[in-house]
Amino acid sequence: MYFRDIDTLAPAAFKRMTGVDRTLFDRMTDYLQQHAPTFGRPAKLSIADQLLLTLSYWREYRTMFHVAADYRISEPTACRIIRRVEDTLAQSPDLQLPERKPRPKSDLEYAFIVIDATETPINRPKKKRSSGPITAARRSGTLSRRN
């Protein structure tokens, strides 16, 4: 689904579709536009479509294959777009997630026991043959070193 398809959605439906409200989406688009590479071949998808692709990947946990098929691009291209958008947005001071509060310290101490439960192959015992003459025939057919 391209950005032109969801551009006219109501604000609640837009947030439900993308996971972010329209003002944040516009801020993200503006930041990506400012930091877009100005060299090389022009991108097949617009900045808004690239952001929408990334948000749909984050929101729906779909595979790169399915996301790429929706936008009619290859899997490696979808991966490159997602990484570039993630890296660019991570550099923005406005769009950073708030830092987590540190966990409260506990009085409990934990002890861990590590058990190695790796399977190791063993040799199976050989089946015993009950027919003795075969062994005797083999022994008689071998040369001895007695001189």
28 versus 132: the higher-pLDDT residue is 28
Nearest to 54 by CA among 30, 79, 31, 36: 79
The answer, as to whether pTM is greater than 0.75, is: no
Tens-place pLDDT, residues 22-37: 888 899 999 998 988 7
Give the mean pLDDT of 55-61. 88
Answer whether 58's CB lies under 8 Å from 97's CB: no
Going from N- to C-terminal start, the domains of the chain cover: 11-34+44-90
Six-digit token string for 82: 């997602």
Nearest to 20 by CA among 58, 49, 74: 58
CA separation for the pair 89, 25 (Å, rounded): 11
Question: For residue 77, what pLDDT is reported?
Answer: 92
Tell me which amino acid residue 126 is: K
